[in-house]
């Protein structure tokens, strides 16, 4: 099998590529990346060592696709992933990458009759609707309840039939627009596709920032003994997310790659679920336990733009269809990232500290 992974030097793309090559050494895997995100350059040597072919290119450029050989499947893992991207200025890079870049990927797949696996995001769900859901406030976290004003939400989390009307951030909008175009290519061009609406993905080799990759950021700040802040929702740190270890995501993509007819045309939520979720307050406690360090955490009561109080993925559909469910716990995730920081401190300190 021959595969192209876009965003292939990014956290998710490189993790998938290296795991696939390890498990299927006879596969030819190309990783395309423009190396815009700081730290992605560290993955080039990792890819080469694994036997993956790195191609320096940009999905915004049709010409960069013309130079690529034919493949059997495209895994579209490229994105400008920041929820805040475009809010403080021009959204051109965001739109050209996340929307028009996806169109270039689709046309390349169509040209070679390749299957198409798309990594979308839970951020396609509208902010205001999420923010007006019924919840209860526990001692350490906010929690969803079953009685809700809209469909697609329960104590299990957010399901695929959650309403899509409303604003969701420019990032979420470009990903949703890509989803709609992918469905057209599936229906009218016969392209085999599957869309995965991923929750918060995390794990070793993610270069965490405040607006994307908060899990790694949180652990790194503890590791390097710096300061953090609970921002918004009264500054209590009760806002809650589920976390998906990139190893668990790999298991899903691996299954889809080899059973594409079963998931062809599907849209699937995929995240850590209730079982692998934590509030910032709870995450802080796990970080203290794993790192053995306690750091100062400021309280900022004002909410940040495009933030949400609570998001948990309901994996019911994807589990029923594929048998997949996450295996890594929150403790596993923090421990794995802590070991990675320890083993690569010299390279990571200038980026994450």
Q: What is the pLDDT of residue 188?
A: 98
Cβ-based burial of 274 (10 A; exposed 0-12, middle 13-18, buried ≥19) = middle
**What percentage of the chain exceeds 70 in pLDDT?**
100
pLDDT tens-digit profile of 268-308? 999 999 999 999 999 999 999 999 999 999 999 999 888 99
- For 1-26, what is each residue's pLDDT tens digit? 999 999 999 999 999 999 999 999 99
pLDDT of residue 249: 98
Delineate the domains of the chain, giving CATH numbers in brackets.
2-352 (3.40.50.720)
The pLDDT assigned to 126 comes to 98
pLDDT at 88 over 80: no
Residue 120 CB partners (closer than 8 Å, separation 6+) = 175, 176, 178, 179, 195, 196, 197, 198, 267
| Between 209 and 311, residue with greater pLDDT | 311
Across residues 249-260, what is the average pLDDT? 98
Per DSSP bridges, beta strands 157-158 and 153-154 are: antiparallel
Provide the token pair at 174.
């470009």
Output the average pLDDT for the chain.
Answer: 96
Q: Strand (E) positions, 19-85? A: 28-33, 53-56, 73-76
Per the DSSP assignment, residues forming a β-bridge with 28 are: 2
Task: DSSP for 151-189, please give it.
Answer: SSEETTEE-TTS---S---HHHHHHHHHHHHHHHHHHHS
Give the CB-side neighbour count of residue 34, counting CA atoms within 13 A: 15
| Nearest by Cα to 15 from 350, 352, 337 | 337
150-190 pLDDT per residue, tens = 999 999 999 999 999 999 999 999 999 999 999 999 999 99
């Amino acid at each position: 099998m021959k595969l192209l992974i876009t965003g292939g030097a990014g956290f998710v793309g490189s993790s998938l590529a290296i795991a696939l090559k390890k498990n299927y050494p006879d596969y030819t895997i190309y990783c395309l990346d423009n190396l815009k995100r700081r730290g992605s350059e560290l993955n080039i040597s990792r890819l080469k060592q694994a036997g993956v072919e790195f191609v320096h290119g940009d999905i915004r450029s049709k010409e960069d696709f013309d130079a690529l050989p034919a493949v059997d499947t495209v895994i579209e893992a490229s994105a400008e992933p920041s929820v805040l991207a475009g809010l403080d200025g021009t959204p051109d890079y965001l739109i050209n990458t996340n929307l028009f870049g996806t169109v270039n990927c689709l046309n390349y797949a169509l040209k070679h009759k390749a299957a198409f696996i798309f990594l979308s995001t839970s951020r396609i769900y509208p902010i205001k609707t999420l923010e007006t859901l019924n919840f209860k406030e526990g001692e350490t976290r906010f929690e969803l309840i079953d009685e809700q004003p809209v469909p697609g939400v329960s104590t299990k989390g957010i399901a695929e039939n959650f309403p899509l009307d409303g604003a969701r951030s420019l990032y979420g909008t470009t990903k949703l627009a890509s989803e709609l175009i992918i469905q057209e290519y599936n229906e009218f061009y016969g392209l085999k596709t599957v869309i995965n609406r991923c929750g918060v993905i995390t794990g070793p080799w993610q270069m965490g920032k405040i607006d994307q990759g908060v899990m790694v950021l949180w652990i790194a700040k503890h590791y390097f003994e710096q300061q953090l802040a609970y921002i918004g929702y009264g500054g209590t740190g009760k806002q809650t997310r589920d976390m998906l270890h990139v190893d668990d995501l790999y298991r899903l993509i691996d299954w889809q790659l080899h059973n594409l007819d079963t998931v062809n045309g599907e849209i699937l939520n995929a995240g850590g679920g209730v079982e692998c979720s934590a509030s910032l307050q709870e995450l802080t406690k796990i970080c203290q336990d794993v790192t053995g360090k306690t750091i100062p955490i400021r309280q900022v009561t004002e909410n940040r733009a495009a933030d949400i109080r609570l998001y948990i993925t309901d994996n019911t559909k994807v589990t029923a269809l594929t048998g997949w469910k996450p295996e890594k716990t929150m403790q596993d995730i923090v421990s794995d990232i802590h070991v990675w920081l320890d083993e690569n401190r010299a390279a990571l300190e200038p980026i994450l500290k």
